[in-house]
Amino acid sequence: MAKTIKEINERIKKGKAVVVTAEEVIELAGKKGVRKTAQEVDVVTTGTFGPMCSSGAYFNFGHSRPRIKCGGGTAYLNNVPAYGGFAAVDLYIGATAIPDEDPKNSVFPGEFNYGGGHVIEELVSGKDVQLVVTTYGTDCYPRDKLETWINIKDLNEAVLFNPRNCYQNYNVAVNLSDKVIYTYMGVLQPRLGNATYCSAGQLSPLLNDPYYKTIGIGTRIFLGGGIGYVSWNGTQHNPTVKRGKNGIPTSPAGTIAVMGDLKQMSSNWLKGASFTGYGGTLTVGIGIPIPILNEEILKYTTMKDEDIKAQIVDYSQSYPQVQPGSLGEVNYKQLKSGSINVNGKKARTGSLSSYAKAREIANILKNWIGKGTFLLSEPVAPLASADSGVTFKLLKERPLKKSRRK
Q: Does 194 bind another protein (CB under 8 A)?
A: yes
Helix/strand/coil for 311: strand
Annotated catalytic residue within 70, 140, 166, 198: 140
Catalytic annotation on 140? yes
Among 1, 107, 356, 395, binds another protein (CB under 8 A): 356
Helix/strand/coil for 132: strand
Q: Which stretch binds another protein (CB under 8 A): 34-42, 188-196, 371-379, 384-392?
A: 188-196
* Residues 320, 321, 323, 328, Cα dihedral to 10°: -30
- As a whole number of angstroms, the distance between CA 67 and CA 151 comes to 19
Q: How far is the CB of 402 from another protein (least distance, A)?
A: 43
**331 Cβ contact list (under 8 Å, min separation 6):** 305, 306, 307, 308, 309, 310
Q: How far is the CB of 395 from another protein (least distance, A)?
A: 28
Q: How far is the CB of 130 from another protein (least distance, A)?
A: 21
Q: How far is the CB of 257 from another protein (least distance, A)?
A: 23
Q: How far is the CB of 273 from another protein (least distance, A)?
A: 4
> What is the DSSP code (8-state) at residue 234?
P
**398 Cβ contact list (under 8 Å, min separation 6):** none
> What is the DSSP code (8-state) at residue 338?
T
Q: Does 363 bind another protein (CB under 8 A)?
A: no
Q: Which stretch binds another protein (CB under 8 A): 17-25, 60-68, 87-95, 179-187?
A: 179-187
Pick from 243, 283, 244, 291: nearest CA to 266: 283
- As a whole number of angstroms, the distance between CA 95 and CA 256 comes to 16
- Size of residue set near another protein by CB under 8 A: 37
Q: Does 350 bind another protein (CB under 8 A)?
A: yes
Among residues 146 and 195, whose Cβ is nearest to another protein? 195
Q: Does 99 bind another protein (CB under 8 A)?
A: no
Helix/strand/coil for 47: coil
Q: Are 228 and 222 in contact (CB under 8 A)?
A: yes
Q: Does 349 bind another protein (CB under 8 A)?
A: yes
Q: How far is CA 280 from CA 28, 34, 98, 184, 324, in A?
A: 40, 43, 7, 9, 27
- As a whole number of angstroms, the distance between CA 269 and CA 283 comes to 7
**What is the x/- site pattern for another protein, positions 40-59, by CB under 8 A?**
---------xxx--------
Pick from 55, 54, 58, 56: nearest CA to 70: 58
Q: Does 182 bind another protein (CB under 8 A)?
A: yes
- Omega cis (within 30) before 379: no
- As a whole number of angstroms, the distance between CA 210 and CA 240 comes to 11
Q: Which stretch binds another protein (CB under 8 A): 18-26, 186-194, 244-252, 296-304?
A: 186-194
Q: Does 354 bind another protein (CB under 8 A)?
A: yes
Pick from 244, 249, 171: nearest CA to 212: 249
Residues 285-344 that bind another protein (CB under 8 A): 336-338
Among 2, 63, 85, 113, binds another protein (CB under 8 A): 113
Among 248, 292, 351, 376, binds another protein (CB under 8 A): 351
Q: Does 277 bind another protein (CB under 8 A)?
A: yes
Among residues 90 and 121, whose Cβ is nearest to another protein? 121
Among 29, 357, 365, 376, binds another protein (CB under 8 A): 357
Q: How far is the CB of 192 from another protein (least distance, A)?
A: 11
Pick from 395, 205, 231, 228: nearest CA to 308: 205
Within a 10 A sphere around the Cβ of 227, how many other Cβ atoms?
A: 16
Q: How far is the CB of 267 from another protein (least distance, A)?
A: 11
Helix/strand/coil for 126: coil
Among residues 79 and 274, whose Cβ is nearest to another protein? 274
Q: Does 232 bind another protein (CB under 8 A)?
A: no
Among 274, 317, 326, 385, binds another protein (CB under 8 A): 274
Q: Does 195 bind another protein (CB under 8 A)?
A: yes
Q: Which stretch binds another protein (CB under 8 A): 34-42, 237-245, 346-354, 390-398?
A: 346-354
The values of phi and psi at residue 205, to 5°, are -50, -60
The contact set with another protein (CB under 8 A) reads 49-51, 109, 111, 113, 182, 186-187, 189, 193-196, 271, 273-277, 281, 283, 336-338, 347-357, 359
Which residues does the annotation mark as catalytic? 140
